[in-house]
Amino acid sequence: MLLCHGFTGSPGSLRPWAEYLAEQGLTVSLPRLPGHGTTVQDMARTGWKDWYGALDSALTDLVSQCSQVFLCGLSMGACLALRLASVHPSRSAVQGLVLVNPSLAMDNKLLLVAPALKYVVRTVPGIASDIKKPGAAEPGYKRVPVAAAATLPEMWRTTVADLGKIGAPVLVFRSAEDHVVGPASLPLLLKALPSSQVTVVPCPESYHVATLDNDAPAIFEGSAKFIQDHTA
């Protein structure tokens, strides 16, 4: 299992999920993306190609150890997982994808001017901890580095353009109320892949970071069953 955390987040947002899957006897990899989990200044020096490169290396390591691999991701991590699957469509080891609130489209219009804005404003308010469950919090940056955010539109365009190359089954968990990823992303995925390939499961009691929210147990159990059902 290769798990991919989201933009400005850290492995902590997926740690309970990773631990659950490990308890099921699965080999789990949950890398920290470059620039994440340290300082905002570190992240400002990275972009989507750095994050993708780290995940591609992690996938290569997993394939060398395991005969089959599933890709899982939250938000931007889900987008990067889709990108991995499209870049390696013939890699038979990739058996399926489990995505939580995948981000595939621009929801904040400020990103249109981010390439220029980064020279004027270095950071903007963060997006971490969009969680409905009382007392739950996501380990992530409280500020978003504009320079890093400016690379997201290229990531979305590149990923969406190649979605049709993905042949593995996809399980999507989608929160009913999400204050980070808007309604435009999921239709892009559903348009690119046949309905028989994608299963969407609602998360009625969670916000964006559903892996730490009220529906987390359903996500963990559902993903384990999906893996079992699609393991050769």
Region 123-143 average pLDDT: 89
Annotated catalytic residue, options 5, 36, 88, 208: 208
* pLDDT at residue 51, as a whole number: 98
Which class for 23: exposed (0-12), middle (13-18), buried (19 or more C-beta within 10 A)? exposed
The residues, ordered by sequence, that sit 6+ positions from 34 with a Cβ below 8 Å of its Cβ are 46, 50, 51, 53, 54
pLDDT at 12 over 80: yes
Q: Percent of the chain beyond pLDDT 90? A: 79
Domain layout of the chain by residue ranges: 2-229
Our answer to whether residue 230 is catalytic in this structure is: no
Our answer to whether residue 75 is catalytic in this structure is: yes
Encode pLDDT of 67-88 as tens digits.
Answer: 899 999 999 999 999 999 999 8
Distance CA 116, CA 124 (A): 14
Region 23-51 average pLDDT: 96
Our answer to whether residue 178 is catalytic in this structure is: yes
The residues, ordered by sequence, that sit 6+ positions from 217 with a Cβ below 8 Å of its Cβ are none
Distance CA 50, CA 7 (A): 12
Task: Indicate the pLDDT class of residue 117, thresholds 50, 70 and 90.
Answer: low
Distance CA 151, CA 219 (A): 29
Encode pLDDT of 171-188 as tens digits.
Answer: 999 999 999 999 999 999
pLDDT at 93 over 90: no
Annotated catalytic residue, options 178, 185, 215, 223: 178
Pick the CATH number of 2-229 from 3.40.50.1820, 3.40.50.720, 3.90.1150.10, 3.30.70.580: 3.40.50.1820
In 75-208, the DSSP E strands lie at 94-100, 123-125, 143-145, 170-175, 198-203
